[in-house]
Chains A and B, each alone.
Chain A
Amino acid sequence: MSELDRALDAALRAMAAGDGPADLRARVMARLDERARPPRRRRLALAAAAGIALAVATVALLRTGPRPEPVPTAGRAASSASAVPPEETPVAAASPHAPPLPLAPARGRAPGAAPPPAGAASPAAPALEVEPIELTPLAVESMSAEPLTVTALRIERMQIEPLAEPQP
């Protein structure tokens, strides 16, 4: 090996020298700790939030379950003169002492109630104890309409004078 080769080797070794930071291990371990911690915490927090949301949703669904349809009874309020069709005011038909009504997929559901699925009652659904709703009959005033008076139309003959002959 010539002197030039030896000198070149020395120069290249000097260029490639350097050990880097002595605290590289500490830096790498610190980064590993950072990466390990947040995802686990986030996962736990997300799981807890999901559980809470599920519980709240379940309670809300149970409370606002489908309402029983009110059935018209003999103790209907005095609204015989009412012109409103029965199906539009089902609430008025129920009497305060009526027994609990079965669930039925029909009109007259309480506002906000979830519609039951098509196919009517589900035999597998657990029986819910629903307290009868006390309803006060809705008093509807009868409408009074005055008879309409139509005046007969009189037609008078029109006097039409013939046109004068045109002058040439």
Chain B
Amino acid sequence: MAFFPTSAPAAASIGRVSDAELVARARAGDTAAFGELVDRHRVAVYRAAHAALGSASEAEDVAQEAFLAAYRKMGAYRGDASFKTWLLRIAWRQARARRRRLAWRWRRLLSAGEPPSASTASGREERTPEATLIGAEMAAHVRRLVCALPARLRDPLLLCADGAQTYQEMAVVLGIPEGTLKWRVAEARRRLKERLARLGYGDE
């Protein structure tokens, strides 16, 4: 494929650059390159944080902090895993640290009973086509049952739920073997289906 240099502004050429190249530029002090990395991975980082915290506002804070931490630790990125996986690992650790803090627990306790919001920053709950199909009632049951799962089963289940990352990547993010990750996801699904069946949502 021939390359035709154009007079387009430099920002337009960043879109065709790989993550590795952007990381190298960011290390050299190019903050615009780092900004492009933020844009590329903000959704994945936000969703990982939301999977751990269940709150849109908390997930936004953690996502921001995760990117700042990644910028500071840019020199430590060795390239063993993809930049996205490395970034998600940082975000996951920060989200878990926040979850462990007592204040977070108190807030969750005070807001117990409210379903976690998988919404955008505006706070409105979006009705996806999937939610419309399965019905709001079942969605509410699934949400409640997922929150009741132990964290070691809930976290892998939610992290792999959007299908954007592979099991191998998520295993690196969680710091567990891939086989363990697959088992935990399968076990979480099994328990959910068992409880949904008791609620009358079994296979027909």
Contact = CB atoms under 8 A, between A and B. Distances in A.
A113 B25 CA distance: 59
Interface stretch (A23-31, A87-95, A102-110, A115-123): A23-31
B64 A15 contact: no
B128 A28 contact: no
Contacts of A17: 47, 118, 126, 128, 162
A29 B39 CA distance: 11
**Which label, helix, strand, loop or mixed, suits the secondary structure of the A interface?**
helix
B203 A3 contact: yes
Nearest to A25: B38
A127 interface: no
Interface in A1-24: 2-5, 7-22, 24
Interface string B29-48: 00100110011001101110
Interface in B20-68: 31, 34-35, 38-39, 42-43, 45-47, 50-51, 56, 59-60, 63-64, 67-68
A24 B50 CA distance: 15
Contacts of B204: 3
Contacts of B68: 28, 31-32, 35
Interface residues of B, number: 50
Given A8-B196, A16-B162, A24 B63 contact: yes
A22 to B, nearest CB: 8
Contacts of A32: 31, 34, 68, 71
Nearest to B196: A4
Contacts of B47: 16-18, 20
B43 A14 contact: no
B158 A28 contact: no
B60 A21 contact: yes
B193 A18 contact: no
Contact of A8 (B60, B142, B162): B142
Given A24-B64, A35-B68, 16 more contacts: A4-B193, A4-B197, A11-B143, A12-B161, A13-B130, A13-B161, A14-B118, A16-B51, A16-B158, A18-B46, A18-B118, A18-B120, A21-B46, A21-B60, A24-B46, A32-B71
A16 to B, nearest CB: 4
A11 B138 contact: yes
A35 to B, nearest CB: 8
A102 B197 CA distance: 107
A7 to B, nearest CB: 5
12 contacts: A3-B203, A8-B189, A12-B142, A14-B118, A14-B131, A20-B50, A20-B60, A25-B35, A27-B64, A29-B38, A31-B64, A31-B68
B134 A11 contact: yes
Contacts of B146: 12, 15
Given A5-B193, A17-B118, A32-B71, A11 B43 contact: no
B201 interface: yes
B38 A24 contact: yes
A13 B50 CA distance: 13
B90 to A, nearest CB: 13
Given A10-B133, A12-B158, A18 B119 contact: yes
A15 B116 contact: yes
B9 to A, nearest CB: 17
A13 B47 CA distance: 11
A12 to B, nearest CB: 4
B121 interface: yes
Contacts of A10: 130-131, 133-134
